[in-house]
Amino acid sequence: RPRLASRARRAASTPSRRRGARFVAMAAEKKKLWGGRFSEDIDPLMEKFNESLSFDRRMAQEDIRGSMGYARALAKTGIITDDERDALIEGLGKVAEEWAADAFEVKDGDEDIHTANERRLGEVIGTVAGKLHTGRSRNDQVATDTRMWLRAQLVVLRGYLRELIAVACDRAEREVDVVMPGFTHLQSAQTVRWSHWLLSHAAAWQRDDMRLADLAPRVNTLPLGSGALAGNPFGVDRQALASDLGFERVCPNSMDAVSDRDYVAETMFWASTTMIHLSRWSEDLIIYSSGQFGMVKLSDAYSTGSSLMPQKKNPDALELLRGKAGRLLGTLTGFMAVMKGTPTTYNKDFQEAWEGLFDTVDTMSDCLQIATGCLATLKIDPAAMEKGLSADMLATDLAEYLVRKGVPFRETHHISGAAVKLAEDRGCALSDLTVDDLKPLCDAFEDDVVGVWSYEKSAESRDTEGGSSRRSVLEQVAKLRKYLEDTESEMNVA
């Protein structure tokens, strides 16, 4: 027994045992992932200034899934054992469950989601948690987390956008026979169909959907395995890692991988462009719903009243859509200003991207759903729309009548203008002019000119592809629906 005790004391005093004891002691202390070369405590204000867990915690599950994939990749290289891999994955699963149950306890020193998850993993499985970060940097880790988070969010946003387009198609088909004034410079211009106006905005939303589809592959590109900037020294198979984590491809250059925030800028640009389209649509409806126009009426569900004037019904939902467009434009501009002066590879400036990105996604989610609700529930007043039509809006049709009689358009334009002036001088409507009134302006006028004074006929005369005729409008609906159907398979990628 004395000999056994002596051997035990000698084993405890060997260098390897001493190193292990020292590692355990260090792990028990509150330390930063980067704190080894620092000897002074961090300023508490700097701690607050530097932290991002308050907003990047929403990527907790993505951070854990990325770490699970990385543990599997490390095991394939032999740098960790299969047992260690399994322990890491099992421990990460328990951490994920805590986040899902809103039971994760944040502690002092958890400056970001990566630090928090790794700290908790160490508490769950012990010192083997320290092997998870082998060859990995928070530089490639955060870029991976945000891409994983964003790719799923873009699918959700695209679903909301496509629902808006579908509602527009349904209303356009159902209300195709309603005609209304079309405007240029906000002045009455020509007769169009309500459905034609509606589809003019749906066409813009379709482009927004196309842009989102085009953006998705660039978001779904894997940076993990790039390390801090120079690459991974342990032979991690990045193609296999990409496949494991559901990425389409890998970033081709490790320095660019940790530096690239194009996918953030593109998402913000997409959002800004989409919001410009929603803002212009909102502005039209705000005008059309005003007392002076009265062509549409918003549902009470998307309106509010005045605290002073009992008669007021304000289009607050539409006004907020218009206002939020300006805010997202500011977010994009601010982010681009942050990025423009940063040197190659990672800089802490990049942290400023995440709050703007999260807000952009949240705002777009709300705005697309609100817009769909507004469109699905608003009521139109066909009589008010017809009342808004005026005979002078048929001046172009009068010129086109003469074109069909063989008169060059440049001449007919002036002749029709003279007819408008004649009606103004007489204080009557353009349609009140008789053929005898018109003949002195051009002898090509005949009795059939009375057929010009039909708003329905005016809309129907524009029967080319994309025009305002009934056939053309229904064709536009069919094309939009086919587009949604043909691209539906793209929505299965998350």
**Where in the sequence numbering do the catalytic residues fall?**
185, 306
| Placement of tokens 């002195």 in the chain | 440
DSSP string for 276-288: HHHHHHHHHHHHH
Report which secondary-structure segment, H or E, holds 255.
Answer: helix 254-259
Identify the bridge partners of residue 190 per DSSP, sorted by sequence position.
Answer: 182
Closest CA to 111 of 40, 35, 32: 32
Taking the C-alpha atoms of residue 121 and residue 98, their distance in angstroms, rounded to an integer, is 11
Taking the C-alpha atoms of residue 388 and residue 369, their distance in angstroms, rounded to an integer, is 30
For residue 178, give Cα distances in angstroms to 174, 280, 469. Answer: 10, 21, 11
Do the beta carbons of residue 469 and residue 463 sit within 8 Å? yes
Identify the bridge partners of residue 400 per DSSP, sorted by sequence position.
Answer: none
Q: Which are the contacts of 377, defined by CB distance < 8 A and separation ≥ 6?
A: 298, 299, 301, 302
Closest CA to 180 of 296, 99, 15: 296
Give buried/exposed letters for 358-385 (b at 16+ CB in 10 A, else e): bbbbebbeebbebbbbbbbebebbeeeb
Give the CB-side neighbour count of residue 60, counting CA atoms within 13 A.
25
Report the 10 Å Cβ neighbour count for 241: 23
Taking the C-alpha atoms of residue 183 and residue 197, their distance in angstroms, rounded to an integer, is 10
For residue 19, give Cα distances in angstroms to 25, 68, 112, 130, 135. Answer: 10, 28, 29, 15, 21
Report the 10 Å Cβ neighbour count for 263: 22
